[in-house]
Amino acid sequence: MPSPGDKRSIFAYDANHLARIIAGPDFGQAFEQGWIEGGLQAGPRLLVNGKVSLNVKKEGFKDPKILTGGGARSALGLTRDHRLILLTTGGATIPQLAEIMKKAGAYQAMNLDGGASSGLYYNGKYLTTPGRKISNALVVKFQ
């Protein structure tokens, strides 16, 4: 049965850790092809091929905090050569976040979570401290 989440962007990676951001409707085909090792669904999508691309309502978002509001935000992006960008900001609307990600060098980008859920932990300390306990996280390990 279809749900609003079926339209939302997915950060996915293959067995070689090559990452992509996939549009929600394209996920089924990518999954069936067997290349997806893991993924994280969120949104809305911010950048497609280096250009701001916002279809917030089309992706099924209805909350005014996403549609028009500003606040703390977390985002994920990929450069042209698939390098990962993780970013937090203390206050931005979704269109402002898209521009921030573009200036940070992202070629593909998506919003993660916001408000008290925004946190960024690096090298043993918080760079951005969340306002509550966080129940899930994207963990990146250097090898």
Cα(90)–Cα(122) distance, rounded to whole angstroms? 17
Within a domain: 26 = yes
**C-alpha span between 76 and 55 (Å, rounded):** 17
Greater confidence (103 vs 71) lies with 103
For 95-108, what is the HEC assignment? Answer: HHHHHHHHHCCCCE
Structural domain contains residue 139: no
Let me know if residue 137 belongs to a domain.
no
Edge-first strand listing for the sheet containing 38-41: 19-22, 10-13, 38-41
Boundaries of domain holding 11: 4-127
Q: List pLDDT tens digits, range 16-35.
A: 888 999 988 888 888 899 88
Q: Look at the chain and report how many structural domains it folds into.
A: 1
Report residue 130 as tokens.
């969340």
Please give the residue that has the higher pLDDT: either 69 or 126. Answer: 126
User: Measured between alpha carbons, how far is 39 from 22 in angstroms, rounded to an integer?
Assistant: 10
* Residue 39 to residue 9: CA distance in whole angstroms: 10
Listed in sequence order, the residues at least 6 apart from 38 whose beta carbon sits closer than 8 Å to its beta carbon are: 12, 13
Domain-located, residue 95: yes
Q: Is the pTM of this model over 0.85?
A: yes
55 lies in some domain = yes
Q: Which residue has the higher pLDDT, 137 or 125?
A: 125
Q: What's the pLDDT at 5?
A: 62
CA-angle at 83, arms to 77 and 89, nearest 5°: 35
Q: Give the pLDDT confidence score for residue 113 in this predicted structure.
A: 80
Q: Tell whether 142 is covered by a domain.
A: no
Residue 141 within any structural domain of the chain: no
pLDDT of residue 34: 87
What are 40-95's pLDDT values in tens digits?
A: 888 899 999 999 999 888 888 887 777 788 888 999 999 999 999 999 998 899 99
C-alpha 70/C-alpha 12 separation (Å) is 27
